[in-house]
Structure 1
Amino acid sequence: MNTLAEAPPKEPSEKDIITGLQEQVSASRLSLFLQCRLKFFFRYVLRLKKPKTPALHLGNSVHSVLKEWNKARWLLKPLTLKEAYESYQKAWTDENEGKVVWEPGEENDDKTTGWRLVDTYLRESHVPAMVKPEAVEVPVEVDLVNHGLPRLIGVLDLVQQRQVIDYKTSATTPNPEKVAHSHEIQTTSYAILYRHNTGNKEEGIQLHHLVKLKNPKVVITRLPSMSQQQETRLYRQMEAYLTGLQHEQFVPSPGMHCSSCEFFNECRKH
């Protein structure tokens, strides 16, 4: 019997992609859209692929082992430091993470730096080994249709004692006031997701920065519960996101951030 080969799946059009982006949004997408709409267009509409940077690879590897550490705590079977190191080694060599272009000698230095960050964090007991988390790396969402807004989605790194905790790696010591301002979209989104999915009000939000200095250190920024003003501001930002997508307002926002943008050449040619 002759059979017809199945046709390959049709690639979505730009219009289809934009329609999908209007149906749901994450804190990272919203932040990027408000930072530079053209960069958002390159990344999420055209879906241009760029090599992963060494800094991103280091951050992902650190994040991976901390996720395993917290999952083990949730099972009440904390990892030993040796097991944590083995988890880090595996994360570093994970080929699914994508190729990284290294300068000579850079990979070994970065690999050592990443482990020293993890080692410092665990030895200082910033998350007590025997305290069971409420949630680890859990994907959550909330339908904001009653506000005329898209579905908000996100992943909570860690929830412990009604505190939402997020991990970050940094090359410099963060300033608490600037951190609170620059990460407000993310922290407000987390608060909304937490409240809608638990029925409880968060006790606060913590940003744990693992700082890549000669002597690594951990800086914890503790933020209060979300205010009504912050919630309203996020909804207004989401409205701007929707309007911009509906009118395809993908305009560039030239500034200091352009020097490190992976789409600099594409932007200049646009």
Structure 2
Amino acid sequence: MNAPADAPPQERSEKDILNGLQEKVSASRLSLFLQCRLKFYFRYVLRLTKPKTPSLHVGNSVHAVLKKWNKARWLQTPLSLKQAHDAYTEAWADTSEGKPVWDPGEEETEKTTGWRLVDTYLRESHVPPDLKPDAVEVPVEADLARHGLPRLIGILDLVQRRQIIDYKTSATTPNSEKVAHTTEIQTTSYSVLYRHNTGDQESGVALHHLVKLKNPKVVITTMPPMTSRQETRLFHQMEAYLAGLQRQDFIPSPGMQCVACEFFNECRKWH
């Protein structure tokens, strides 16, 4: 018997969720699993929700403007600075993904900080406004079944002259060597996705950090095309992810990172 048209959708069982997570993986899921399996379990299996952090709201608002700016470049109708500001105001007011909890006076300060990041980036023209991108915010995936791995999925912020560009906001000036290491899962994943979907090799990867200092600045870290060693490392990491999910190996990884973890209280109760 079919369910009534207005019946509420049934919640997926934990088994179904785990099966789905074994079929597809993104760089963010993989990174979190390798960072702390219990945190992964809370976020992606139990799907516990937490209030949106102010820093995430700033980052999302900045990203929304850059996305719109790049799409306008792709359409070859570049945005004016005023249009970009209007887009930022609209993005800031959007709380569809959750409303942050602000301290008194914090929201206006952070709102100004976010716009100054956008303004700095656009005025310094780190990507020529009249140069049409290869792709903007493209959802892509790669079938890695022949390697015995899940489908790899992701969204490429920007591809320009075969260079994969990803935007990040940061409170401190990044160290290029450390950034290349800590983001390797993400950058290698993007390279795999690019090659599978274009049949071509990327010219490299660039991380554009918008740094929230008193005087905002943009720091660009460029990396060469993915090496075979990096691809092998990623595939082994994906194997560990798949094996861990199959064993339901969700254990905590206590460390300094726990101080800012949104699941700190839940983790303390784990047994």
TM-score category, normalised to shorter length: over 0.9
Say yes or no: does 1:139 pair with 2:139: yes
Name the counterpart of 1:95.
95
Counterpart-to-counterpart distance in 1, 2:248 and 2:94: 37
Q: 1:25 aligns to what SS in structure 2?
A: strand
Counterpart-to-counterpart distance in 2, 1:113 and 1:128: 23
Q: 1:97 aligns to what SS in structure 2?
A: coil
Name the counterpart of 1:72.
72
Q: 2:96 aligns to what SS in structure 1?
A: helix
**How much has 1:95 moved relative to structure 2?**
2.7
Name the counterpart of 2:117.
117
Aligned residues: 268
Say yes or no: does 1:21 pair with 2:21: yes
Counterpart-to-counterpart distance in 2, 1:191 and 1:51: 33
Name the counterpart of 1:46.
46
Q: Aligned ranges for residues 175-186 of structure 1 at < 5 Å?
A: 175-186=175-186
1:201 corresponds to which letter in structure 2?
Answer: Q
2:223 corresponds to which letter in structure 1?
Answer: L
Name the counterpart of 1:236.
236
Q: 2:155 aligns to what SS in structure 1?
A: strand
Say yes or no: does 1:167 pair with 2:167: yes
**How much has 1:121 moved relative to structure 2?**
0.2
List runs of 5+ in structure 1 lacking aligned partners. Answer: none
Counterpart-to-counterpart distance in 2, 1:6 and 1:163: 47
TM-score (norm 1): 0.98
Say yes or no: does 1:190 pair with 2:190: yes
Q: 1:157 aligns to what SS in structure 2?
A: strand
Counterpart-to-counterpart distance in 2, 1:175 and 1:118: 21
Name the counterpart of 1:105.
105
**How much has 1:97 moved relative to structure 2?**
3.0
**Per-residue deviation, residues 79-133 of structure 1 (Å, max 9, x unmatched):** 0000000000000001313111000000000000000000000000001000000
Q: 2:238 aligns to what SS in structure 1?
A: helix
**Per-residue deviation, residues 158-206 of structure 1 (Å, max 9, x unmatched):** 0000000000000000000000000000000000000010111000000
Percent of pairs with identical residues? 75
**How much has 1:13 moved relative to structure 2?**
1.0
**Per-residue deviation, residues 230-253 of structure 1 (Å, max 9, x unmatched):** 000000000000000000000000
1:40 corresponds to which letter in structure 2?
Answer: F
List runs of 5+ in structure 2 lacking aligned partners. Answer: none
1:149 corresponds to which letter in structure 2?
Answer: L
**Per-residue deviation, residues 16-75 of structure 1 (Å, max 9, x unmatched):** 100110000000000000000000000000000000000000000000000000000001
